[in-house]
Amino acid sequence: MTVSVFQQGALIFTEGDPPDCAYLIEEGRVEIASERGGERVVFDVLGPGEVFGEIAVLDAERRTATARALTEVRLLRIERGQLIERVEQSDPIVRQLLRKLLTRYRSTVAVLRGELESRRDDEEHDSDRGAIAKISLEAALRAALQGGEQLELRLQPIQEVATGRVAGYEALIRWHHPEWGSVAPDRFIQLAEETSLITVVGAFVLREGCRALSALRARSHDVFVTVNVSARQLEAPDFVATVEGVLSESAVDRRGIKVEITESQRLDYARVAQAIDALRGLGLSVVLDDFGTGFSNLSHLHRLHFDAIKLDRSFVRDMGRDHRAMAVVQAIIAIARALGAETVAEGIETPAELEQIRALGVRYAQGYYVGRPVPLAALL
């Protein structure tokens, strides 16, 4: 930031000028005024610590007022690029709100000037609606997480292929909204990831997963429960502490909890490796979910100390009709075996698919053919 000094009475910028920077007042006083039908209207007089000229910079429109030094002033210039970069890096909802405020400001100025033209176009209207829908979804999710009764885990059986017995369950979150009905996890998990709500969702899922495990263990002593953790959760600095906190609330056997980490482009392997080691340090097992679709970059695979891989549904679907897909599946299974990891195939929808993975020596099978996700109560 550079410092500019203006003498008393000097013009800092004039109404109609193109914007290049905003200013922070270090010393002195600045008057913000405008011409209205030949008359000068003073909007504001600003002093040290205050910022002006930011609106035109943010929405890249001409200055709507004139700034003049009332005394000698020292100003820090905030360059347009610095501001724009920060706005572009901000949360999408904050960005949308900012755009909205700017639009509102501009129309207010237009009304004050008696111009009253409409600045809105349809596109703007649509993106407003999108942002508003998102905000109300986020508010509803926040409320649901506080109450807890709209959120529920469904448990989908995971079968041990060789014996046919149910060895464990994957916990899948469900949200039943009183008015909207059920909201798909894909939709609200992504939203939760854009905010810090994912940490709360994650804690809820783990807590309920532990509760389900305790209940299921009363009937079957070595059953396990898997819970999903998204990339954004792993990134949070308090991730491991949150997991540890939830685990210490119950006396559950930690070896019965497996954490599924979805492959993701947004995480680098070092981060994932760290998270895997921390989770295993807490006594949990780690499964690489949707294996083959993301970071199963061979050059880093040996550094990830996972316990199992879950073959993505797309491989299971394709391997029956494409011998190249089958070859890839065989290679993945061989890698997992060589690394001492267990294998799970997801998306098993037909007896033929189950037979195929049996022939390949995959340890566990999951999918609609084995069983749909059901509430815990249905299993007790």
Which residues of this protein are in contact with ligand C2E, per CB under 6 A?
156, 172-173, 184-186, 189, 205, 228-230, 262, 289-290, 347-349, 367-368, 373
Nearest distance from C-beta of residue 369 to ligand C2E, angstroms: 7
Nearest distance from C-beta of residue 275 to ligand C2E, angstroms: 13
Q: Is the CB of 292 or the CB of 320 nearer to Ca ion?
A: 292
Q: Is the CB of 123 or the CB of 186 nearer to Ca ion?
A: 186
Q: Which entry of ligand C2E, Ca ion, none binds 347, CB below 5 to 8 A by partner kind?
A: ligand C2E
Closest residue to ligand C2E, based on beta-carbon distance: 367
Q: Is the CB of 208 or the CB of 289 nearer to Ca ion?
A: 289
Nearest distance from C-beta of residue 262 to Ca ion, angstroms: 7
Q: Which entry of Ca ion, ligand C2E, none binds 287, CB below 5 to 8 A by partner kind?
A: none
| Strands of the sheet with 30-36, listed across from one edge | 11-13, 66-69, 30-36, 39-46
Nearest distance from C-beta of residue 43 to ligand C2E, angstroms: 49
Nearest distance from C-beta of residue 262 to ligand C2E, angstroms: 6
Burial of 300 from C-beta contacts in 10 A (0-12 / 13-18 / 19+)? middle
Q: Which entry of Ca ion, ligand C2E, none binds 373, CB below 5 to 8 A by partner kind?
A: ligand C2E
Cβ atoms of residues 294 and 260 within 8 Å: no
User: Given the rule CB under 5 A, which residues bind Ca ion?
Assistant: 228, 260, 289-290
